[in-house]
Each structure stands twice: as structure tokens, then as C-alpha cells.
């Protein structure tokens, strides 16, 4: 083989390699990007916790007002609870039947998420919190403070909330005493 033929083959090989390299590095047509779709109602556990706190805070204030009135009219909490939990609340007439009402406001703190289950259409959030009733006094018909001296003024509590797609908010589905280790000191 002559030197000229070898050079031609070498030049052809270099040109072919350069052409391949140039086309391999050249950007392709831009690929269409898909618009992200919502796969969950809450972007994070912190978002779910804040939504739960907001609902429970409104519920707690409305519930304090109900117990202060001494009348078992739960209509002011209806927007914060599920229909099943509302029916459960309405069935409790114990304070009214005993002629009791409260004075003061309760508070809560130390709130954290116990569990969060969600998808794009539904969510269930279970939170635990410390309910503080030290500023709540139970008053009888005669105006006497009949608050039990043995009452725990601060106790662990859990709240289950479900997403209501119609109102696009969490609603309280159940609430009660926390059954595990007391974390409220």
C-alpha cells in the first residue's frame, strides 16, 4: 500500500470520526417535558401538620365557646369535622343535662404527625398533641367552680383528620386520649 493511500484512509477516518463526534454532541430536538402532576395533597409532612393545626385550632376555639355556653349546639364546629364525628358530638349532652358550663380557654402544643397517608385525591393525617385545660373551670348552675381537683390539666391527645375533597380542607374525623407513652410534661 502506498503512503498516499494510507494518508487518504487516515484522513477519511479522521473526518468520519469528527463527523460522528460532532453529530453525537449536537443537541437533539428538544424533548417535550411533561408538566408535573399532583401526586399528593400535601407537599410535605410539615404542610399536612400545619393544615391539621389550623383546623384543630379553629375547632378548639369553637368547642370552648360551646362548652362555655352550656348548650349542646355544635353547629359552630360543623365546618371542621366530618359528618360522622359531628353526629357523635351532637349525641353528647352531658354538660347540658348536668347544668354545667365552662369558663376559660384551652390551648394545645407539642403537635406532631403520627401518620400521614395520602394520594392526589385523599389524605388521612393522625396527629398527637398536648391539650392544656388548666385555664378551664367547670361551673355549675349556681356559679360554683366544680372542677375536679384530680383532673389532669395537661394531657396527651390524638386527632384523626380526613381530607374533604368538596371543601378542600382537612376535617376532624375522631379525637381522643393518646394511648401510648405520655409525652406531655
In a domain, 22, yes or no: no
- φ/ψ region of 163 (left if φ > 0, alpha if ψ in -120 to 50, else beta) reads beta
Show the domain range for 145.
45-177
pLDDT in the model for residue 38: 59
Domains held by the chain: number:
1
Confidence of residue 95 (pLDDT cuts 50, 70, 90): confident
Contacts of 40 (CB under 8 A, 6+ apart): 118, 119, 120, 123
| 97 assigned to some structural domain | yes
* More confident: 90 or 10: 90
Is 28 domain-assigned? Answer: no
CB of 106 within 8 A of CB of 136?
A: yes
Is position 12 within any domain? no
* Residue 62's CATH number: 3.10.450.240
Query: For residue 62, is pLDDT > 70?
Result: yes
Q: Do 128 and 179 form a contact (C-beta atoms < 8 A)?
A: no
Residue 39 pLDDT level (bands cut at 50, 70, 90): confident
pTM of the model: 0.77
Amino acid at each position: 500500500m502506498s503512503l498516499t493511500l494510507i494518508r487518504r484512509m487516515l484522513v477519511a477516518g479522521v473526518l468520519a470520526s469528527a463527523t460522528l463526534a460532532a453529530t453525537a454532541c449536537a443537541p437533539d430536538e428538544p424533548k417535550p417535558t411533561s408538566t408535573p402532576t399532583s401526586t399528593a395533597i400535601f407537599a410535605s409532612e410539615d404542610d399536612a401538620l400545619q393544615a391539621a393545626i389550623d383546623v384543630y385550632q379553629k375547632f378548639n376555639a369553637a368547642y370552648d365557646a360551646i362548652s362555655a355556653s352550656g348548650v349542646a349546639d355544635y353547629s359552630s364546629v360543623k365546618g371542621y369535622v366530618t359528618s360522622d364525628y359531628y353526629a357523635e358530638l351532637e349525641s353528647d349532652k352531658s354538660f347540658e343535662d348536668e347544668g354545667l358550663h365552662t369558663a376559660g380557654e384551652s390551648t394545645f402544643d407539642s403537635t406532631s404527625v403520627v401518620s400521614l397517608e395520602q394520594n392526589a385525591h385523599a389524605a388521612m393525617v393522625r396527629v398527637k398533641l398536648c391539650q392544656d385545660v388548666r385555664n378551664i373551670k367547670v361551673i355549675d348552675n349556681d356559679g360554683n367552680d366544680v372542677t375536679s381537683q384530680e383532673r389532669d390539666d395537661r394531657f396527651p391527645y390524638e386527632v384523626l383528620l380526613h381530607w374533604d375533597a368538596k371543601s378542600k380542607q382537612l376535617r376532624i374525623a375522631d379525637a381522643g386520649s393518646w394511648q401510648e407513652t405520655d409525652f406531655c410534661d
